Amino acid sequence: MALSVADRAIGAVIGAAVADAAAQPMHWIYNPDKLKEVLSDLEPCPEFRPESANPFYRRTTGEQTCYGDQAYVLLESLSRCGDVDVGDLTKRFYKFFGPGTVYDLPLNDPYRKKGEGPKVVLPIDGPWRNGSLKAFFRNVDAGKEETGSDADCMMDGVTKLAPVVGMFAGRPEMLEKVEKAVRVTQNDDMCVAVTLAAARFLEHFILNGPDPNVLNVVLDQLKDPKRQNPQDLDNAVIAQIHQVKDNLSKTSQQLIPAMFTNT
């Protein structure tokens, strides 16, 4: 049976949540040898590992990472408000990740300075409040109008965009809504530009279904001088997408060591 646009939008939201939970027990394993060892025990089904192998934090299998939890909060806000309401979203993020929650652990203290307090023993027993969320709390507490981190360019924006794209796919304001949502916790221009490119990819799949030509479709959109919500860094994103095209034939095992290094 052919899927409708609504079906694909719902599937994007549910699929993102399931994928986040499936990967959570193996989140942030940066050591290639350790990852290979963990995977060797799970072939051919690495998803939903019964016991966490995460070297930084431990949650029960089935629970979300901090990225999936952000997507949930965004989905809840959209459901209640019918739009991207920055004020409502700010309050919900603060309440969900803030004082008295499972995220409120000593290591996750937004004001904790490196080297201060008791020695850190990893992994911690509980979820991880990452850098953008810590900056968000400091900015909210300081009464700043712009609450997002201006130095964080991690994947939070991309991983939580499905609810916004699902709601506004096919509408001219979609990218504007995504940007508003992202800047609540990440006010970094490169982060926003990359997230908007990801939103274009997801919107195309929601509206059209599978398309092996999607890289070229999004490249054409980013090159269009009349495109919606243009960003100063769109040319940098175009170069990144061309880099992806140049490496499509490589496996992840070949690509990751060649392109990325741990810092």
- Sorted by where each begins, the domain ranges of the chain are 5-259
What is Dmax (Cα atoms) for the chain? Answer: 58
Walking along the chain (263 residues) 10 residues at a time, the average pLDDT comes out as 88 98 96 89 88 96 98 98 98 98 95 82 96 98 98 95 98 98 98 98 98 98 98 98 95 84 55
Question: Token pair 């004082």 is at which residue?
Answer: 99
CA distance 237 to 231: 10
Counted residue by residue, the chain has a size of: 263
For residue 125, which of 152, 105, 97 has the smallest C-alpha distance?
105
- Residue 134: the pLDDT is 97
Does 1.10.4080.10 match the CATH number of domain 5-259?
A: yes
255, two tokens: 């690509």
For the question of whether the overall pTM of this predicted structure is more than 0.85, the answer is yes
249, two tokens: 């034939």
Under 8 Å between Cβ of 191 and 153:
yes
CA torsion, ordered 4, 10, 13, 16, to nearest 10 deg: -60
Grouping H, G, I as helix, E, B as strand and the rest as coil, residue 58 is strand
CA distance 5 to 41: 38
